[in-house]
Structure 1
Amino acid sequence: MTSLLVIIVLVLLAVALWQLTKIFDLTQVGSNSDTSEVATDDDNNVQGYIMFAFLAFLYIFTIYGLFKWGPLVLHTPASEHGLDVDNLMNITWVLIFIVQAITQALLHYFAFKYKGKKDQKALYFADNNKLEAVWSVIPAVVLAGLILYGLYAWTNIMFVDEDEDTIVIELYAQQFNWKARYSGTDNVLGKANVRLIEGVNSLGVDMSDPYSQDDIVVTELHIPKGKKIHFKMRSQDVLHSAYFPHFRAQMNCVPGMVTEFAFTPILTTAEYRELPYMIEKVAHINDLRAKKSVELVAKGETALDPYTFDYLLLCNKICGASHYNMQMKVIVDTPEDYKKWVSEQALLVNQVKEAKASAAPAVDGAVKQDSTKVGDSTAVVKIAMK
C-alpha cells in the first residue's frame, strides 16, 4: 500500500511539473519566433496517412475477430421465442456493422482529404437544412423500426395468458445457489415468507397453506419439451438475475418481490447434445481438457473429467464472492420422462414432517439426559450436607 501511495505521489508531482512548464510557455507567447510546434504540410500528410493506416487496422481487426471469436457465440436457441430474439439481434448487428463501416470510412477519408495546408482556409457555412434533415430523419426511422420490432417481440415473449396451460415453477435465488419449487398437481404455488425458513423448509413455504401440500423443492431443474413453463422468481438476500443463455431468457430476482418469465423449450437436452456445432464444441473442449490432464497427472494431481453439455441456469448479476459459481443444472426431458421424474420426487410437506419426526426423539433424549445430570448433582449436594 505504501508503494502505491509513493507511485501516486510521484505521478502527481510529474503532472504538476508538466503543467508548470506549459504555464511558463504560455507566458512567453510573443517573446520569440519559435514555430517548432506548428504543424507543417509534411506533418499533416503523415497524419493523414496514419488515419488511413488506422482505418485499415480497424477493418482487419474486425474481420479477424469475426472469424476468430465468431464461433463462440450461442448458436441454435432452445426455446420457442429464441428465434425472435436472435432475429432481432442479427438485424441490429448487421445495421451496426454497415453504418460503422460507412461512417468510419468517411470519417478517415475526410480527415485525409481536408487535412491542413498552408494558406488554405476552410469553407464555413452556418447551417444546411437539407443535410440536417437527412442525417436526422434516416437514423430516426431506422431506430424507430428497431424499437417497434423489439417492443413487438418483447410483448409476445412476456405475455402469458392466465387461461393458458402452463407449468408454474418458482426459482429461488440465494447466495450462491438456486432452488426450484414445483407447484404440484394443482399447479398453484403455496404461500411463502422468509420468516418461515427453518430446517429443510429453506424457501420459507407456508406449510399451513392448502396449496403448499403438493409443492416439490429440488436443486436440479427438470422441464418438459414443448410445454410453456411459467417461472416465478424470488430472491432471499441480494439482487440476482436468472439467466438461461440457451433459452434466450433472463429476468432479475429482486428481494421482496416476485418477478416472472415464461418460455417453451423446443429441444431436449439429448437433442441439443446431438447438434453438429455442439458435438464439435464438446470435442474441442475435451481436447483441451485432455492436454491439461496430462500436465496435471505429471504433477501428481487428478485429471479433469470429460465435459458433457448441459443446459444451465446462471446468475447474471454480480452478487458476491462466489457469483461465478452460482448455477443450476437444467434438464429438458420428453413429456413422458418429465412425468416419471416428477412422480419420483418427494413432497416438501413430507420432508418437513420427516425432519420434525427425526428431531423429536433427539430432543426427548437430550431432556432426559439433562434431568439425570440434575438428579446426580442433587444427590451430590445431599451427600455434602450430610
Structure 2
Amino acid sequence: MTTTGLFLLAILALGFLITFQIAKASEYVSVLKGEKKSFEQNNRINGFLMVVFLVLGLIGVYLCNKALYPKTLMPYPSASEHGENIDTMLKITLLITGIVFLLTQILLFWFAYKYQYSEKRKAFYYPHNNKLEMIWTTVPAITLCILVGFGLYYWFKITGEAPDNAMKVEITGRQFGWIYRYPGKDNVFGKKYFRMIDEADGNILGMLWKDSTMHTPNGVQNIKADPTGYDDIIETSAMYLIKDQPVKLIINSRDVIHDVGLPHFRMKMDAVPGTPTTMWFTPKYTTDEMKKITNNPNFEYEIACDQMCGNGHYSMKGLIKVVTRDEFILWRAKQQPGYKPATAAAPAPAEQPAAPADTAKKASAGALVPNSTLASNK
C-alpha cells in the first residue's frame, strides 16, 4: 500500500475514534443529567433547528435562483419556433414542481417542530387511509401524464416531416468536430460510403466522387461514382442558416455516438453511426439580432455535443451563423463544391440546358437557394 493510502486509512480510523468518543461522552452526560431531562432538552433543540434549517434553506434557494438565473438561457427568448413551446412546457413544469416542493418542505420541517414529543400530548397512530392514498397517487399520476403528453406532442412535431420549403443541411459528428454538407444546384445530396473516407485525400465524408474497387471479406466490390455529389458543398467552420427559413437537419456520425445539442434553439438529437436521424426548426433571430438581445457582442449560436464521446468531448463545439436571405445567397455564391480540392481528376457535372432569357434570374438564384424555397416565396 502506498504512503497516500496509509495516510487516508489513518485519517478514517482517527475520525471513527473521535466519533466514538463523542458518542460515549454524550452518553455519560445523559446519565449525569438524567435520561429524561437530556432527551427533552435534545428534542427541543432539534425541533428549533428544524425551523432554522427551513428558513435558511428557503433563503438559500432564493439567493441561488437570484444569482444563477441570469446565467441560464431562460432570461432570453428561444431562437426557434419549436423552442417557444419547449420553454412554455418547461415553465409550467417548474411552476408545478416548485409549488409542490415549497408545500412539502414547509410542512415537513414545520410538523417536525410543532409535533415534537410532549408529555401533554399522546401520539395518535394513523397507519392507513384509502381516500388520501388515492388522492396523492392519482393527482401526481394524472399531472405527469399530461406533461409527458405535451412533451411527446412537441417531440413528434420536431422530428416529423419538415415543410416543403425547408432547406436541407446534413451535419455529421466526428471525434471531435462537426462537418456540414449542403446539396448543390440539383438540390440532391450525393451518395457516400464510410469505407471511402480518406482524410489525406480530403474526402472526409466518404463521398463517391470516383469509381473505385475495394477488397472486402466477401470479395471484390466495385463502387461507382455518384455524379449528384460533385456539386455538394462541404464545410467544417460553421453552419449557415436563413432567418425565418425552415431547416431540416439530417444528422449522422462518422465514428461513435454524438449528440447535436442546440441550446439556443432548445433542441437536441443523437447522432448515431449508420442510423441517420432528423429534426427541423425555423430560426427566429439572426446572429446579429441575438447579439443585441443578449447584450453580448461576442454571441454565437453554439452546437454542443451532448453525449460523452471521448477524451476530446469538451472541445467538440460547432457554430451556427443565422443570416438574412441575401447574406446567405452571397455566402453560398462564394463556396466551392467539396470534390474540387479533393479529387482533381473527377469528371465535371453534366452541363445543364441553357435557361430562357426570361427565367435567367430565377435560375441564377436557384443555384444558391433550394428550388423549393424559391417556389414558396414567389
**1:277-323 deviations in whole A, cap 9, x for unaligned?**
x11xx2xxxxxxxxxxxxxxxxxxxxxxxx61111212122223332
Does the C-alpha gap of structure 1 residues 339 and 38 become closer, same or farther in structure 2, counting only changes over 3 Å? farther
What does residue range 43-192 of structure 1 map to in structure 2 within 5 Å? 43-74=42-73, 75-118=76-119, 121-161=122-162, 164-192=164-192
Q: CA RMSD in A?
A: 3.0
Tell me the alpha carbon deviations over residues 43-91 of structure 1, each in whole angstroms, 9 at most, x when there is no partner: 1111111111111111101111121111111111111111001001111
Aligned to 1:273: 291
Call closer, same or farther: CA 1:12–1:43 in 2, change over 3 Å: closer
What is the correspondence of 1:160-309 to structure 2 with a 5 Å cutoff? 160-161=161-162, 164-198=164-198, 199-207=201-209, 208-219=225-236, 220-275=238-293, 278-279=294-295, 282=296, 308-309=298-299
Range with greater deviation from structure 2 (311-320 or 90-99) = 311-320
> In 2 relative to 1, CA 212–356 (structure 1 residues): closer, same or farther, beyond 3 Å?
closer
In 2, the alpha carbon distance for the partners of 1:135 and 1:226 equals: 45
Identity, % of aligned positions: 33
Q: Work out whether 1:312 is the aligned partner of 2:329.
A: no
**Structure 1 pair 93–3 and aligned structure 2 pair: CA distance change class (3 A):** farther
Work out the CA distance in 1 between the residues paired with 2:207 and 2:139: 55
Contact 1:167 1:229 in 2 (8 A): yes
TM-score normalised by the chain length of structure 2: 0.77
Q: 1:85 to 1:37 in 2, by over 3 A?
A: farther
SS in 2 for 1:256: coil
What is the one-letter code of the residue matched to 1:201? N
Change (3 A) 1:61 1:16: closer
Match of 1:304? Answer: none
SS of equivalent residue, structure 1 residue 107: helix
Tell whether the 8 Å contact from 2:203 to 2:342 is kept in structure 1 after alignment: yes
Q: How many residues align?
A: 323
Alpha-carbon shift at residue 116 of structure 1 (Å)? 2.4
Q: Partners of 1:39 and 1:255 in 2: how far apart?
A: 66
Local SS of the residue matching 1:347 = coil
Aligned to 1:351: 341
Deviates further, 60-69 or 205-214: 205-214
The residue identity in structure 2 corresponding to 1:254 is V
Q: Which runs of 5+ in 1 are unaligned?
A: 25-31, 283-306, 358-386
- 1:195, distance to aligned residue in structure 2 (A): 1.1
User: Displacement, 1:141?
Assistant: 2.0
TM-score by structure 1 length? 0.76
Give CA deviations for 1:93-131 in whole Å, capped at 9, x if unaligned.
111111111110111111112212358542123411111
Instruction: Note if contact 1:188-1:211 (Cα within 8 Å) is conserved in structure 2.
Output: yes
Q: CA deviation at 1:185?
A: 2.8
- Greater C-alpha Rg: 1
Distance 2:234 2:169 in 1: 10
**Cα distance change, pair 260–7 in 1 and its aligned pair in 2 (3 A):** farther
Which residue identity lines up with residue 116 of structure 2 in the other structure? K
Q: Is the 8 A contact 2:339 2:346 kept in 1?
A: no
1:330 has 2:320 as partner: yes
| Kept after mapping to 1: 8 A contact 2:192/2:207 | yes
Inter-partner Cα distance in structure 2 for 1:179 and 1:39: 70
Distance in 2, Cα, partners of 1:341 & 1:270: 16
Give 1:200's aligned amino acid. Answer: G
Instruction: String of CA shifts for 1:345-368, please: whole Å, max 9, x gaps.
Output: 1101222223889xxxxxxxxxxx
